[in-house]
Structure 1
Amino acid sequence: MGEVLKAPPARVLPTIVLSQFAGTSLWFAGNAVLPELKASLQLQDGALALLTSAVQLGFIAGTLVFAFLSLADRVSPRLLFMLCALLGAAANALVVFAAKDLYAVLLLRALTGFLLAGIYPVGMKIAASWYNTGLGKAIGYLVGALVLGTAFPHLIRALGAELPWQQVMLAVSAMAATGGFLLYLFVPDGPYLKKGATFKLSNMLQAFRDRAFRSAAFGYFGHMWELYTLWAFTPLILALAIPQLSPGEVSAYSFAVIAAGAVGCIGGGYLSQVWGSARVAFVQLLLSGLCCLLSLAVLQLDTPQLLIPFLLFWGIVVAGDSPQFSALTAQTAPPQLVGTALTIVVAIGFAITVISIQLTGFLFTQLQLHYTLALLAVGPALGLLALRRLV
């Protein structure tokens, strides 16, 4: 008989979660210091959409390149994670020295997004190498860490409202680099580490012929239409809807709204063990779609006491279905095409975020705030139509 594998050491999951949190803090670092960057680069109101989309496009390119080269199979995942965390931290820090040149800043933000493809998905692979059972719950914690990491630069900005923006960027970089070192030092390759499925672009259409996979993928696409757009524009929503807030308060509430998604991710992970991933994803996507529509009324009431709790609830449900969509796409993908299928779905999902962010940024200049946010409901509506087959 083969050796019975013991439970993972207690340090493994907390270290992966902490490192994932630290690494993904690079994602919205530019958003947290946007007012200062706009002033330095003499940018107009479209700066938010431009900087956010640069990161998203970089992540799409990174996802495809890493998959095509099978980097997580050729290099130890923990080493790859550390290298990408260090290089991502360096790219983020260099924004401080390039802040007078728009193209240099956009290139550095795109490079940061590219390197995030070696942090977020690779962190998932490392977790899977340690957890043969209970992976769904582990993914809930990992995506929760992504959400907190995404929100964290806003907290740094809130706590150090008087700090120069350059120090905020450097603090985020230092944290990301530390996370990379921690994971490499304390999380060896797990006993269930497997070679990833071969990435073959020619198999893309074959994967989408599977009806269950198609339902999960299109549900995820609807979710992505809303998620990053809400995250990107949360500071602007707060500043416009509650003009009496100070910049520090806008950053603090932005952190709270985005970070609230970690509650939805972790809570949804536990619920999925009872309800199943499809039902949890459906309910959270339905609730976030309703929030899009309810924003028509809530944002016109001019009542901060109602708006803040509303945005916090929206933050919980808009991100809470992310781990379940990850689980559903993995479960429904044809076994021989898992690598290609998941890579393509992630790439398409993030491409959709670019379109949504750019469109929303344009609509903010043409329509009132509440009308623009209500249009985000299109994504959840289409996602629910696709997902209902799996419920």
Structure 2
Amino acid sequence: MTAAPLRPPPQAPPSPPPTLLIAALCAAEVLTMIGVFAFAALLPAFMAAWDLSSTEAGWIGGIVFAGYAVAAPVLVALTDRVDARRVFVGGALLAGGANLAFAVAADGFWSALLLRALAGVGLAGTYMPGLRVLVDRLPPARRPGAVPLYTASFSLGSAVSYLIPALVADLAGWRTAFAVAGLAAVAATALLVWLPRHRPEPPADGARGALLDFRPVFASRATMGYVLGYVAHMWELFAFRAWIVAFLGFGLAAGATGPADAGGTGLLAPGSVATWGALVAMAASIGGARVATRRGRAATTQVFMAASALMALGFGWCAGLPYPVLAGLAILYAGLIQLDSAALTTGAVETAPAGRRGATLAVHSLLGFGAAFLGPLLFGLTLDLAGGRDSAAAWGVAFALVGGIGLLGIPALALARGRPRTARGG
């Protein structure tokens, strides 16, 4: 009896070309984000149609990021145990379904609140898990250049999220705008289904521990310095993004007798200005990270945070300026806010406790996007308490509060200055 021939060991599926992989993940992330700021882009119309108070509008604008903050710790930590591609595809389908349901069923505060929260859970399943899909499949030498491109796609997606819903709504109404956003998120899954499967590597000691054990992250002073700085940054950033279109609309009416006189149409329409600001922010984030790496990350980031917070303290009082000047200041402010974004995330990752990079990103997302929820909400509440959205003083007070929160990131980053760098881990 002859022995059966030995079977060759199974071959790992071929890796896709790095350039194609990077392009696919960046495009997929942008597609899933078209609906993220759609409500903010169309906020004045919703406030009028549904008779929303500023506080109610703040709830709807911020609930996306509350959904993100609640779901992200579980979904990001889960990528240590299952292929991150599965998490991304599930998140994209949920985001797409939530936007399609909004297009069909949203008719007021409560329905909008629920569906936007579900969209936030979908976002949690795509942003950081998408980064993990990319890193898991790239050779180590390509990762340093690829990660900034992917994280910058969040800002590009933000820009598109202001532009496309506004354009579609002008042509076919807001329900069609949300339907387009939903279909785009579903279409993003086609960019990932062709990727080979990836099995996450087990921990070096073979023990995974509890999925949500974040104690080592909280115990790292340097890491928490960057995380808490990120909290202040996200509060300021998302308050700005949720309310900038409405503020520019107010400024357009306050600074001129009509849109034609102010130049508030076309490239200077409020939604277009928000888009330009998000594009400038993308470049500022990449450039700010490079400068911070060369000059000292924590100290340089403190300077960036001071600049954007000081801008916020005065920005809300500028509504009476000629509209083109106000639009230019909004774009400048959008860039200043983003100078510290990538530097803060890089700092958290680089100082993460050994073997706890996934847990660090989970804490980063939980606290950061929790602030992203509270920022728009408290901004709207401040508007109501300070005189309403038709009061110039109320806008000044609301943005000043945002600047005050932004300044809190500076002492938080003192925890990270001069601290020894910990060993890097996965």
In 2, Cα distance between the equivalents of 1:305 and 1:36?
Answer: 22
Query: Any idea what SS the aligned residue of 2:19 has?
Result: coil
The residue that corresponds to 2:271 in the other structure is 251
Q: Which residue, out of 125, 135, 152, partners 1:118?
A: 125
Contact 1:126 / 1:189 at 8 angstroms: preserved in 2?
no
The alpha carbon displacement at 1:46 in A equals: 2.8
The residue that corresponds to 1:333 in the other structure is 352
In 2, Cα distance between the equivalents of 1:7 and 1:76?
Answer: 16
CA pair 60-247 structure 1, distance change in 2 beyond 3 A: farther
In 2, Cα distance between the equivalents of 1:116 and 1:239?
Answer: 28
AA of the residue aligned to 1:175: A
In 1, Cα distance between the equivalents of 2:294 and 2:384?
Answer: 44
Residue 203 (structure 2) pairs with residue 184 (structure 1)? no
In 1, Cα distance between the equivalents of 2:252 and 2:300?
Answer: 32
Contact 2:40 / 2:241 at 8 angstroms: preserved in 1?
no
The alpha carbon displacement at 1:211 in A equals: 2.1
Contact 1:48 / 1:232 at 8 angstroms: preserved in 2?
no
The residue that corresponds to 1:284 in the other structure is 304
Q: Which residue, out of 228, 232, 250, partners 1:222?
A: 232
The structure with the larger Rg is 2
CA pair 92-229 structure 1, distance change in 2 beyond 3 A: same
The alpha carbon displacement at 1:31 in A equals: 2.4
Q: How many residues align?
A: 382
Contact 1:296 / 1:374 at 8 angstroms: preserved in 2?
yes
Residue 38 (structure 2) pairs with residue 29 (structure 1)? yes
The residue that corresponds to 1:355 in the other structure is 374
Residue 85 (structure 2) pairs with residue 65 (structure 1)? no
AA of the residue aligned to 1:143: T
Q: Which residue, out of 261, 272, 297, partners 2:281?
A: 261
The residue that corresponds to 2:407 in the other structure is 381
Contact 2:62 / 2:242 at 8 angstroms: preserved in 1?
no
Report percent identity of matched pairs.
Answer: 24
CA pair 385-8 structure 1, distance change in 2 beyond 3 A: farther
Q: Which residue, out of 295, 320, 327, partners 2:339?
A: 320
The alpha carbon displacement at 1:74 in A equals: 4.1
Contact 2:55 / 2:380 at 8 angstroms: preserved in 1?
yes
Pairs within 5 Å for 1:31-50 = 31-39=40-48, 41-50=50-59
C-alpha RMSD of the superposition: 2.9
The residue that corresponds to 2:6 in the other structure is none
Q: Which deviations, in whole Å up to 9, do the C-alpha atoms of 1:305-353 show, x marking residues without a partner?
A: 3222221111112123222211111111211443333312321222222
TM-score w.r.t. the length of structure 1 is 0.87
AA of the residue aligned to 1:93: L
The residue that corresponds to 2:111 in the other structure is 104
Contact 2:74 / 2:212 at 8 angstroms: preserved in 1?
no
Contact 1:8 / 1:131 at 8 angstroms: preserved in 2?
no
Query: Any idea what SS the aligned residue of 2:321 has?
Result: coil
Query: Any idea what SS the aligned residue of 1:75 has?
Result: coil
**Mean Cα displacement is larger for which, 127-136 or 220-229?**
127-136
AA of the residue aligned to 1:176: A
In 2, Cα distance between the equivalents of 1:210 and 1:310?
Answer: 38
The alpha carbon displacement at 1:18 in A equals: 1.2
Contact 2:60 / 2:109 at 8 angstroms: preserved in 1?
no
Pairs within 5 Å for 1:297-316 = 299=318, 302-316=321-335
CA pair 97-353 structure 1, distance change in 2 beyond 3 A: same
The residue that corresponds to 2:182 in the other structure is 173
Q: Which residue, out of 385, 393, 400, partners 1:366?
A: 385
The alpha carbon displacement at 1:266 in A equals: 2.5
CA pair 294-133 structure 1, distance change in 2 beyond 3 A: farther
CA pair 15-273 structure 1, distance change in 2 beyond 3 A: farther
In 2, Cα distance between the equivalents of 1:93 and 1:22?
Answer: 14
Pairs within 5 Å for 1:227-246 = 227-243=237-253, 244-245=258-259
Query: Any idea what SS the aligned residue of 1:92 has?
Result: helix
CA pair 230-75 structure 1, distance change in 2 beyond 3 A: same
The alpha carbon displacement at 1:286 in A equals: 2.5
Query: Any idea what SS the aligned residue of 2:249 has?
Result: helix
AA of the residue aligned to 1:43: L
Contact 2:234 / 2:369 at 8 angstroms: preserved in 1?
yes
Gaps of 5+ in 1: none
Contact 2:95 / 2:119 at 8 angstroms: preserved in 1?
yes
In 2, Cα distance between the equivalents of 1:16 and 1:151?
Answer: 17
Gaps of 5+ in 2: 1-13, 387-392, 419-426
In 2, Cα distance between the equivalents of 1:189 and 1:198?
Answer: 24
Pairs within 5 Å for 1:112-151 = 112-129=119-136, 130=138, 132-133=140-141, 135-151=143-159
AA of the residue aligned to 1:252: S
CA pair 6-356 structure 1, distance change in 2 beyond 3 A: closer
Contact 1:40 / 1:99 at 8 angstroms: preserved in 2?
no
The alpha carbon displacement at 1:199 in A equals: 5.1
In 1, Cα distance between the equivalents of 2:156 and 2:238?
Answer: 14
